[in-house]
Every structure is written in C-alpha cells, then in structure tokens.
Amino acid sequence: MSYSIPPPPAQPPTVHRRGIGRRLAALPRPVLISAVAFVALAAGGVTGYLLMGDGIAEGTTVRGVDIGGLSAEEARAKLEAELGDLGTAPLRVVIGDDGSDEAGEPEIHELDPAEAGLSLDFEATVAAAGNPSLLDRILGRGGSEIELVVHQDEEAGRTALTGLAADSDRTVREGAITFTEGEPEVTTPRAGVALDVEDSLGRLREGYPAAPPADGADPADAEPAADPVPLPVTRAEPLTGEAEIEEALRAWAEPAVAGPVLLTAGDATLTISPTLIGDHLTLSADDTGALLPEFDAAALSADERLDDQLAAAETEPVEAELRLDGGQVVAASPGSNGSTVDRDAIGPAVEPLLYAEGEAARTGTVATEEVEPVITPANYRDLGIVEEMSSFTVEFEPAPYRITNIGRAAELINGSAVAPGEEWSFNRTVGERTEENGFVEGIIILDDQYTNAQGGGVSAVATTMFNAMFFAGVKPVEYGAHSFYIERYPEGREATVAWGHLDLRFLNDSGHTIYILASATDSSVTITFLGTKRYDEVRSETGPRTNVKEPGSREGAAGDACVPQPPLEGFDVEVTRIFVDDGTEAGRETYRTTYVPRDEVLCEGGD
C-alpha cells in the first residue's frame, strides 16, 4: 500500500495597512494645520459652553451698558441700576409738527412716563439678548447692541393724552376787529388744532425713553432728546385772510370811529364818542370769512356813561304844590310837564350814521317825550290826598348852622310824593350833607360825644319826620335813635341819620299816595303828611326809664376841636304806638330804645 501525503494548504497573501497617523502624515501640511486648529477650537467651545451655561454673549450692550458674559439675573440687575433713571425722565412732546405757539416759540409739554403708561421692561430686554449657540461660540460669534423693550399701557396713555388735549387743543379762530379806546384792534386768524390721541400713542412709544447718552457718558446722566416728540394733530384752517381784514378796516372799522356821532334831543345835543361807539361795535367773520360789522344798539342805549348827558338834556316835571286851607287840601300851583330823551332810541339813531363822513353827515336826532307830574290839580284827590294824616313840630335853639341846615333839609323834603307800596328815604331825598348841596358845618354826635361836622342839626329834621311817620301810622323800615338822649326830643321817639351808615326810611302802606309838607323857621321845623288816614287816631304811650346809668366826666380834645358837653344819665325806655279805629284799639307796636350816659366833657378854659 502506498500513501500520498497531501501538500500543505495555501497561505493568504500578506496585506500591509497604514495607521491614522500615517494617513494624517500623508495629508498636505496646510490642511493638517487647519484640521488641528478646528479640533482644538471645537474642544474649547464645548468646554466653554459647558462652563458658561446660560451666560449672555460677550459684547452684548443695551444703551451703552455692557451685559456680555452675565447671567440673565445679573444683566437685569445691572440694567435697572444703570438705566432705571432713564425710564423715569419726563418725556418732552410738542403738539403738531411745528409745535409752536402764536408767537412762533416752541411750546413744549412734559409727560410723566408712568402716568402715560410707559415703562422699561428690563426682563424682556435681557430675554431678547438670548444666549449664543454652541456653533456661535465655536465660530467666535459675539453679542451686539440691542434695543430696550418698552411696555405701554394704552389705556393709561389715552388718559394722559386726553388731559394734554384738554389743555392744548384750540378751536379755529377767525379774524375779527374790536376797539379799544375808539381805536381798531385786529385779532389775527388762527388754525384750529386737535390732538390725535390714537395716533399719538405710537409716537409716545417710539420716543420713549429719552435719547441715549453720548459715547463714554454715564447712561444715568442721559439728557432728554434735543428734539421733542411731535404728536400728530388734526387741523382746521380759518376762512378769514389778510385781504378780508384790510377790506373790513377800510370799509367799516375806521369810518365808524373817525369821529363822534351827534344827536340833537330838543334843545340839547348828545355826543356819542368814538370810544362809546367802539365799545359796542365788533366785526366778525361770516360763513365765507368776510368780516361784517355787528353793532349792539341796545347796549349803547343802556350805557351808563350817557347818564350825565341825559340828565343835562332832560327836565324834571314840576309837581303841583299842595297845601292845607282850613283843614282842606288844595292845589297851590299847577305844576308843569318835564321832558326826557327816549333812551331806547339812542342806539338805533346812531347806527345809520356810523359810516358817514364829516360832522354834518354824522349828525341826527333822537326823540324826546313829555313827562307829566305825578300830582296835578286834576288828579290829587283821585290819588287819595284828601286830608291831613299827621303833623309834628320840633323846636330848637337858634344857631346859624341849625337855621341853614334844617332849612335846607326841609326844602329838599317838601313836596315829596310817595306812591302806595313805595319806600321813602331821608338820605335819598336830602342827599349827602355837603357844601355843594347847601349844608354847612355844625355840631353832631360822634362816638358818644359832640363834635363838629358838615350838616350838624339835621337830626332835628329826622326826628320830626320820624314822629310824622309815627303818627301817620305807616310802617318804619329803617331808623336809629341818638346814642345818648337829647332833651328837646321826645324820649324813645326820635331819630338821627348818617350818610352812608344810617338812613330813615318808611313804607307807604296806607293804600293811597302820601304828599309831604316840610317847612322851617329860625327855631322850629314842621312836617305834615297829607293823604288818607288809615286809622282814626294813632296814640303814643311812653314807659318809665329803666336800667338808669350815671354819666362820667372827662377832658375833651385840645383846642377848637373840643365841644363842651353837659352830663346826662343813660337809660332804657319803651314807647308804644297804639292804633285806634271807631274808638276801639285796633293794634299796638312797642319801640325799645337804649341811651348810653352822656358824659360830662370839659374843655380847657371852660367853666
């Protein structure tokens, strides 16, 4: 037997493989260097990303404040610290694009940001900065300047703008012409402006906060923007232009006050001055913008500056004089008519003459009217002036000043007619006691002592009038007794007057007209009421003196100003007025008077 030994198995061919190092070595050198740098950068980026976490990208700024590399909380705190004041600075605005007032000067308004609903949202600002991605960090991309995020409460903004509009809105003003001291004055036209509140909300948001600080400056020191924020408006233009104003001056305004208007009223002439004319004339724009005159004729007629001229042009009617003859009322004189200017006709008479040229063309007439006296011989009985109602006389010690002053007061009172329901006033009838009114200086009572003053002695007439009124049974309205008692007057039934302080007034409640007779001699004054008696009789009862107080004694003023004064006790007293009809008491009234003591006043050189 034979065995064959098989040959050994074939071996695989040997393969030679290059490692990574050999492959890199085989790369060109520049490529190899870049690759190594990228790997290092990537490794650093990963490491930085892992270390930084949520930090803000380096180089991130807000209004010049660097917040790069900070956490969100750190960045927000830093922005609040450095920019917080910027958000509270007033926001300056102007109304309209030009923002000018009538003089052309900028009219700047300031708004409180908080009240206008504006605030800085630092948290949202930081969130907007964001964090860089891994790729941004690997590629070395940094941060940049980002805008502040503004929060706006629109409702608060509307409220603030509405308040601003109330102060700044203006209606369109047409041209006009008025007059000062008779000279024309032009009111220039002006456009109407109304703040557009809705559109202004966006303007506020865009203009807030104020401009950023200059480079290198502290953000907290930022000044407001040099140019205020213009807020939009709606405008309404006037219709009146310069041409209309010039035409109105030429045609109406200047001719109207070129000179006075003269009105003849009977024998008198009224002069209506340019000042009076101008004060009641205006030129206003109509619907087309033309200036047309508007003359207030009624206001001119009623102007009190015409009073003196009218008083000089008018004549008062003369009342018929009445007197008693054997107990009967008779007419002593017929009286006469007066005349008055028809005041309501003055303005209408002036109006057609306003634009005429020359004195002759500016002269016209105004109607006058006759005024009949209240009392005539034909009607006094119909008025109820048929009998004596009362009469009272006061006697006084003659003295030149008393004779003059008492006589003048009686003269002014005599012939007074008081219609039913009317009041009679001593001060209104007699007037102020001045030299011009016919009165001289005499002794009066002032501050509880005698002194000298104009019109001394007139209280004798006031006391006489009070008693005539008392016994006529009419109603006293105002009266006052002397401060201390004067022996020649009935106690508790006397009166004094003081111009501007104390009057003597009564109401004619008798139902008929009262006619007053007043006359004086050198030692007495008498006042009589004529009319129709309301009561058959009026009596007076005087009670006892009570609360009696003794007077003192003192030195008077030095020199001629001192007036000696005898002492007299002070006291209280009641006087009762009793009304009698058909022998029966119909009513009574009590008058209470308190008199202070009359101190003795000693004058140097006197007894």
How does pLDDT run across 334-372, given as a tens digit for each residue? 999 999 999 999 999 999 999 999 999 999 999 999 999
How does pLDDT run across 512-535, given as a tens digit for each residue? 999 999 999 999 999 999 999 999
- Of the chain, the percentage scoring pLDDT greater than 70 comes to 81
333 three-state secondary structure: strand
- How high is the mean pLDDT of the chain? 83
pLDDT band at 97 (very low <50, low <70, confident <90, very high): low
pLDDT (average), residues 581-596: 94
Residue 588 corresponds to which amino acid?
Answer: R
What pLDDT score was predicted for residue 403? Answer: 93
pLDDT (average), residues 446-463: 72
What pLDDT score was predicted for residue 553? Answer: 84
What pLDDT score was predicted for residue 585? Answer: 94
What pLDDT score was predicted for residue 375? Answer: 93
Ranges 90-99, 536-545, 583-592: which has the least confidence: 90-99
Q: Does the pLDDT value for residue 597 go beyond 70?
A: yes
How does pLDDT run across 215-241, given as a tens digit for each residue? 445 544 545 445 788 888 888 888 888
pLDDT (average), residues 547-553: 90
What pLDDT score was predicted for residue 443? Answer: 67
Instruction: Count CB atoms within 10 A of the CB of residue 380.
Output: 23
What pLDDT score was predicted for residue 127? Answer: 85
Ranges 45-49, 163-167, 381-385, 439-443: which has the least confidence: 45-49
Q: Does the pLDDT value for residue 134 go beyond 70?
A: no
Q: Does the pLDDT value for residue 569 go beyond 60?
A: yes
- β partners of residue 514: 418
Task: Report how far residue 280's alpha carbon sits from residue 182's, in angstroms, rounded to the nearest whole number.
Answer: 10
How does pLDDT run across 30-48, given as a tens digit for each residue? 444 444 444 444 444 444 4
Q: Does the pLDDT value for residue 451 go beyond 90?
A: no
What pLDDT score was predicted for residue 132? Answer: 57
pLDDT band at 102 (very low <50, low <70, confident <90, very high): low
Ranges 43-57, 464-478, 490-504, 576-590: which has the least confidence: 43-57
Does pTM top 0.75 for this prediction?
A: no
Task: Report how far residue 30's alpha carbon sits from residue 12's, in angstroms, rounded to the nearest whole number.
Answer: 39
pLDDT (average), residues 186-190: 87
Residue 120: HSE in the Cβ half-sphere, 13 Å Cα cutoff:
24
What pLDDT score was predicted for residue 446? Answer: 60
Q: Which is higher by pLDDT, 451 or 3?
A: 451
Give the strand pairing for 176-180 and 183-187.
antiparallel
pLDDT (average), residues 544-560: 84
DSSP-assigned states of every residue in 48-84: HHHHHTTPPPTT-EETTEE-TT--HHHHHHHHHHHHH
Whether residue 384 contacts residue 531, with contact meaning beta carbons closer than 8 Å, is answered with yes
Residues in the chain: 607
pLDDT (average), residues 272-299: 92
